[in-house]
């Protein structure tokens, strides 16, 4: 198995642990059914307390995967199946051996910190080309049979779950659950964007050959050299264009300071980079 694949599964596991912690120590003890299959499991658990939320999540996911295989061909990757089953397992372990309780009974704090922890976990999972299944499956079914966009379908499902929470737990808890759903979507997008952001750099220097060699040999990245000339001096110069990660950019900046203190550098952020040497997020 490739190192990159192993790393992805390790990151998925870390992300799932964070999601399980947010559910068991912030959402479930405070009756915050913040959308998703875990939110539905929290609602059901109040009527069948003898069955843990982890087990309910597992049962619901198994049913949904079975329905998916029958009606939409079961086009779900191994990582998604792994993540959805692992979430149920970790929740069951917490319930069985760690006696979950509310770390805070303040609904504002529970909503904010539960959502942040869950968003970090979900962003890690999504960034590793996986998902936790659940409402994604329902969304794909809705997309196929009633032709609603997947993004809108997910929102509809989450809204229905939070609506159920409002009916059974009261309007206040329902509103907090809805707030969590809204914040979760925003935070996940921002975090994934942060994970994938790269630096696009343009360098004009009298020592372009040394700098480009450093980029290719020391950083292991590619660069493009564009022939240009000074607008005032009309002197021919090479302009280097490259895209680097944050740590690589710091190394390059330090190198340029040593090689050419008069180099002209502009730096921008690239939120998505596709191509050799950069990860393509398939999901």
- 197-270 CATH, one of 3.30.70.2470, 1.20.1090.10, 3.40.50.300, 3.30.70.120: 3.30.70.120
At 67, the pLDDT band (50, 70, 90 cuts) reads confident
User: Given this model, what pLDDT does residue 76 score?
Assistant: 64
CA 122 to chain centre: 5
Tell me whether residue 256 is exposed, middle or buried, using C-beta atoms within 10 angstroms of its C-beta: 0 to 12, 13 to 18, 19 or more: buried
- Highest-confidence segment of 67-76, 149-158, 274-283: 149-158
Half-sphere exposure of 224 (CA within 13 A, CB side): 8
Reference 23, options 51, 42, 10, 49; nearest CA is: 42
Q: What is the pLDDT of residue 252?
A: 94
Locate CATH 3.30.70.120 in the chain. 197-270
DSSP label at 148?
-
**Greater confidence, 74 or 226?**
226
Distance CA 249, CA 260 (A): 16
Q: Tokens in use for 258? A: 């040593």
The per-residue pLDDT for range 1-10, each reduced to its tens digit, is 577 788 889 9
pLDDT of residue 177 exceeding 80, the answer is yes
Q: Tell me what percent of the residues of the chain surpass a pLDDT of 70.
A: 94
pLDDT tens for residues 162-176?
999 999 999 999 999
DSSP secondary structure code for residue 133 in this structure: -
Q: What is the pTM of this model?
A: 0.78
pLDDT tens track for 228-282? 888 888 788 889 999 998 889 999 999 999 999 889 999 998 877 777 666 544 4
C-alpha to C-alpha distance for 140 and 154, rounded to whole angstroms: 9
What are the CA-CA distances from residue 39 to residues 30, 34, 228 (Å)?
12, 5, 58
Neighbours of 100 (CB within 10 A): 21
Q: Quick one: tokens of 147?
A: 């032709």
């Amino acid at each position: 198995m490739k190192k990159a694949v192993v790393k992805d599964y390790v990151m998925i596991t870390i992300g799932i642990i964070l999601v399980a912690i947010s559910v068991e120590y912030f959402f479930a003890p405070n009756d915050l059914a913040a959308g998703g299959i875990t939110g539905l499991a929290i609602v059901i658990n109040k009527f069948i307390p003898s069955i843990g939320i982890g087990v309910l999540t597992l049962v619901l996911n198994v049913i949904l995967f079975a329905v998916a295989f029958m009606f939409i061909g079961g086009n779900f990757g191994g990582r998604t199946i792994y993540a959805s089953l692992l979430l149920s397992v970790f929740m069951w372990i917490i319930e069985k051996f760690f006696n979950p309780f509310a770390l805070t009974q303040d609904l504002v704090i529970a909503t904010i910190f539960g959502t942040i922890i869950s968003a970090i976990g979900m962003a890690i999972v999504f960034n590793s080309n996986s998902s936790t299944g659940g409402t994604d499956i329902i969304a794909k079914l809705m997309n196929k049979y009633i032709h609603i966009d997947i993004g809108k379908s997910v929102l509809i499902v989450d809204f229905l779950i939070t609506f159920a929470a409002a009916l059974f737990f009261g309007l206040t808890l329902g509103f907090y659950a809805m707030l969590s759903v809204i914040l979760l979507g925003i935070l996940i997008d921002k975090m994934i964007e942060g994970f994938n952001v790269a630096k696009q750099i343009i360098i004009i220097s009298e020592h372009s050959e040394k700098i480009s060699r450093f980029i290719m040999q020391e950083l292991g990245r590619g660069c493009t050299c564009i022939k240009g000339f000074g607008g005032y001096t009309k002197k021919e110069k090479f302009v280097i264009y490259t895209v680097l990660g944050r740590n690589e950019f710091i190394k390059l900046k330090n190198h340029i300071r040593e090689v050419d203190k008069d180099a002209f550098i502009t730096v921008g952020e690239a939120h998505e980079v596709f191509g050799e040497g950069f990860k393509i997020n398939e999901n």
